[in-house]
Structure 1
Amino acid sequence: MSTEHDTTGSSNPQDISARFTAARAAGQSLQAYPGMPPTTLDQAYAIQAAAVARWPDAVAGWKVARVNPAFAAQFPEERLIGPAFAANIHRVAAGEAARCPVFDGGFAAVEAEVVIVVAEDAPAGKADWTADTVLPFVKSMHIGVEVASSPLATLNDIGPGAIISDFGNNWGVVVGPEIVNWRELETIAVETFIDGQSVGTGKVAIKPGPLGALAFTLNKRALQGTILRAGDVISTGMITGVHDIRIGQQSRHVFAGVGEVAVQITKAAGR
């Protein structure tokens, strides 16, 4: 596991968030973590909050990911979240490919995921949701893709604190065709292809997977003093793995019995 960082840099959330958001705004990469990586969840989410405040776009949803078990003692939550901004939500119909930017020289990957659209505003302060009690908040469930990208190529290697601090390593959520019969399904088998070559297979269990991720996000946002709102999209976690991808490549994600969704990777440009 890499701990590469700028040892001359700050641990101040404002300083770190400023450097990450400046790199993202310019479409540029970073050679090292811009300061001292956060060592606690509180530090990591403080940087994330500072970065969200700096970014000139509305948060339109959240990505959810599992915390690597190797870091469980240091970051003792089963999942982490990161913001998905309105400009990075891509809704595509069957047969279309979403065009999604990534940072040249940074981290870039695609992950097949189930995406939930939130049905209604959550009540403030309630933080005891479970996979069994979140059903009223599911407006629709879709096949989809998270496009993970950061200006820092080693972000994932540093660990969950670094991932959380840089928007959860998110730079796109693709919302594909609806899973109209999701209430009748226990699992969905999924396969991911990049440029026509199979790179991973997996199976998602609806209740502990997507519904559990929605419950975690509802609880986390409540504890952070805010709520999920109607229309928010929740990208609920990888199914076939985290698959590195390069600018110019295309991925295709096949959800058995449901459909497929495709992504064309482009180069992130400055804002």
Structure 2
Amino acid sequence: MENRDRIAQAFVAARRDARGLAQYPGDRPTTLGEAYGVQDRAIALDGRTVVGWKVGKINAPLDTQLGANRLAGPIFADQLFLDATPVLPVIADGFAAAEAEYCIRIARSPAPGACRLSHDAVLELIDAVHVGIEIASSPYPGINADGPLVTISDYGNNHGLLVGAEIPGWRDGDFIDWPVVSRIDGAVIGKASARTMLDGPIGAVSFLIDCLASRGLTLAAGQWVSSGAVTGVHPVAPGQRFDAEFGSLRVSCAIDAAMPAQGMQGELRHASGAE
């Protein structure tokens, strides 16, 4: 079995079983192409519908070494939450964190092969911006510590997106200066604004268009883009509560342990060609 397939199968199975992986399940990718190759294979094995993409930051000096300052991962239909106060699951014996994020809804797909679009051209593809929370969780506890290539290989460390209230008048761009405050169980654990996020949430969409095009993929109408952590990546555990304030808007969730999916292992074996 190829290293790519071994890694992808291990992560898909562990996520469906909601169990941790003590070790990275193969040889770690050494290039962006290898890392996204694992991710693409895992998406194919997984079989769930992709309804959006998370975007995260690649810190210096790796951004220069890799030639990218952001990374991406899929958001699946069963992990998109629109409830006001949901309970969001994490893999309890893996990695788990919550992040205050802006959620951008796509109105229409970019032209086939479109890359390096202008800010205004990207804005024309968007029909709403909301506040939200990304749940970052992986079976592998070392996913972030091992660097962005490992993070990319397991869905960019995404495990769910909570979409909160829509931002009124978002096209004027004022929201990027809103104060954002994150709390765990009422205690402040992060403060920032989207002004500090590279070229901002719209820039995250621009990056994603190029990233997907390089993989033969594209954004689709109705999909969501989670634009990156505003106040940081904040470790959480089952039983805790995470709150994020964006100016006067607020979004909250409780954290619980994920449960194994039912009736999925046969699908994985069929997709992988195993007997």
TM-score by length of 1: 0.92
Which residue matches 1:262? 252
Structure 2 counterpart of 1:35, from 14, 26, 44: 26
**Could you tell me how far 1:73 is from its partner in structure 2?**
4.0
Determine if contact 1:75/1:160 at 8 Å carries over to the other structure: no
Partner of 1:245: 236
Task: Say whether 1:124 aligns with 2:115.
Answer: no
Q: What is the correspondence of 1:67-86 to structure 2 with a 5 Å cutoff?
A: 67-86=58-77
Q: Do residues 105 (structure 1) and 93 (structure 2) align?
A: yes
Report if aligned partners of 1:60, 1:84 keep a CA contact under 8 Å in 2: yes
How many Å apart are 1:78 and its aligned residue? 1.2
Q: 1:184-223 residue pairs with structure 2 within 5 A?
A: 184=172, 185=174, 186-205=176-195, 208-223=199-214
Between the aligned partners of 1:111 and 1:60, the Cα distance in structure 2 is 19
TM-score (norm 2): 0.90
Aligned to 2:123: 135
CA gap 1:98/1:130 in 2 versus in 1, 3 angstroms? farther
- The aligned counterpart of 1:233 is 224
How big is the shift at 1:207? 9.2
Q: Which residue is equivalent to 2:267?
A: none
Higher helix fraction (1 or 2):
2
Shift of the alpha carbon at 1:11? 6.5
Contact 1:251 1:264 in 2 (8 A): yes
Q: How many Å apart are 1:114 and its aligned residue?
A: 0.4
- Write out per-residue CA displacement over residues 170-213 of structure 1, whole angstroms, 9 at most, x where no aligned residue: 00011100001212315221000100111010111399211000
- Residue of structure 1 in register with 2:143 after alignment: 155
Select which of 88, 99, 102 maps to 2:79. Answer: 88
Superimposed CA distance per residue, residues 93-129 of structure 1 (whole angstroms, 9 cap, x where no aligned partner): xxx3122110011100000000000011221111122
Do 1:63 and 1:83's aligned partners in 2 also have CA atoms closer than 8 Å?
Answer: yes
Q: In structure 2, what residue type is equivalent to 1:219?
A: D
Deviation at 1:237, TM superposition (A): 0.5
SS at match of 1:214: helix
Alignment length (residue pairs): 258
SS at match of 1:221: helix
Alignment correspondent of 1:16: 7
Task: Answer yes or no: is 1:181 the counterpart of 2:179.
Answer: no
The alignment status of 1:168 with 2:159, answered yes or no, reads no
Q: In 1, distance between residues paired with 2:198 and 2:59?
A: 20
Secondary structure class of the residue paired with 1:69: coil
- Residues 121 and 73 of structure 1, relative CA distance in 2, 3 Å threshold: closer
User: Where do 5+ consecutive residues of structure 1 fail to align?
Assistant: 1-9
Distance in 1 between residues matched to 2:207 and 2:2, nearest whole Å: 27
Q: Is the 8 A contact 1:11 1:37 kept in 2?
A: no
In structure 1, distance between residues paired with 2:241 and 2:179: 21
Alpha-carbon distance between aligned partners in 2 of 1:14 and 1:151, rounded to the nearest angstrom: 17
Looking at structure 1, the residues matched to 78 and 59 of structure 2 have their Cα atoms a distance apart, in angstroms, of: 28
Please state how far the C-alpha of 1:239 moved relative to its aligned partner: 0.5
Confirm or deny: 8 A CA contact 1:117 1:141 kept in the other structure: yes
Deviations 1:199-257 (A, max 9, x none): 01011139921100001111111121121000100000111111000011110100113
Give, in angstroms, the shift of residue 137 of structure 1.
1.1
Q: Does 1:115 align with 2:103?
A: yes
In structure 2, give the amino acid aligned to 1:85.
Answer: F
8 Å Cα contact 1:64/1:234 also seen in 2: yes
